[in-house]
Structure 1
Amino acid sequence: MKSSQKLTKEQLDPYFLEWDRIAKDLALLHSQRNKRSKEVIQAGIELYYQLLAHCREALQDSGFQPLNGSERLSFVESSPGTYAAYRQLDELFTELKKTIARKRIDLKRLNE
């Protein structure tokens, strides 16, 4: 299977839909100052790792990630209960989505 076939909207949408669900839960938990946000953000971190692994495997590029992705993810992992960590993880998902879109365009141009 070509890498462009592994980066289709159908293949990646479940990850982003799940993140949207988790992000809504996190926003609510943070607005209520609920300590359970630490548990919920762990699910988001795991989802991010799964999505990143899928993209890296599809592109056969072990270094694929958003700018400063590993440092930013380290911050999220070191302070999972904070609102800043939630916002940073949300930004990582947003940037990853944009990076994937750019890769799809690049792959489409290469295949033409």
Structure 2
Amino acid sequence: MNENTENIFIEWKEKSKEIALYFKNRDRKSAREPMEYFLHQLLKTIYSKNGVQPFHTMNYKSDLQEFKHLPVNAIERLTFIEDQPDHYQSYIQLSELFSEWEKKSVILTKRST
């Protein structure tokens, strides 16, 4: 795993608690921006692990269809988050995606060394 990808996972672990607090306090408006930010950060790691740079938000769904390495049901889950970033269920999905993708990234890195 490269340093940039690793930093994104670390940043998520640090900031996700703050986002969870927004949802706990029913402050969906404050949660929206960090949710959108971390959706893009996750996509950056997916692009990077698939050897594609740079990441393009405009056509990520068609790009992901071509990628070899993805979290399970990635396109559907990412679309759900993108469509409703200020919903608690989107936060749950993003958390799960980060967790799954971090594990998979470690495995892929070990295989490539």
Confirm or deny a common fold (TM above 0.5): yes
Counterpart position of 2:20: 27
1:43 aligns with 2:43: no
Which amino acid letter does the alignment assign opposite residue 49 of structure 1? L
Identity of aligned residues (%): 27
Gaps in structure 1 of 5+ consecutive residues: 1-6
Cα separation, 1, equivalents of 2:4 and 2:83 = 30
Which amino acid letter does the alignment assign opposite residue 53 of structure 1? Y
Q: TM-score, normalised by structure 1?
A: 0.78
- Give the alignment partner of residue 96 of structure 1, picking from 93, 98, 101: 101
Q: Which has the larger radius of gyration?
A: 1
Give 1:11 shift.
4.3
Length, aligned pairs only: 99
Moved over 4 A (4+): none
- Give the alignment partner of residue 12 of structure 1, picking from 2, 5, 29: 5
Gaps in structure 2 of 5+ consecutive residues: 53-65
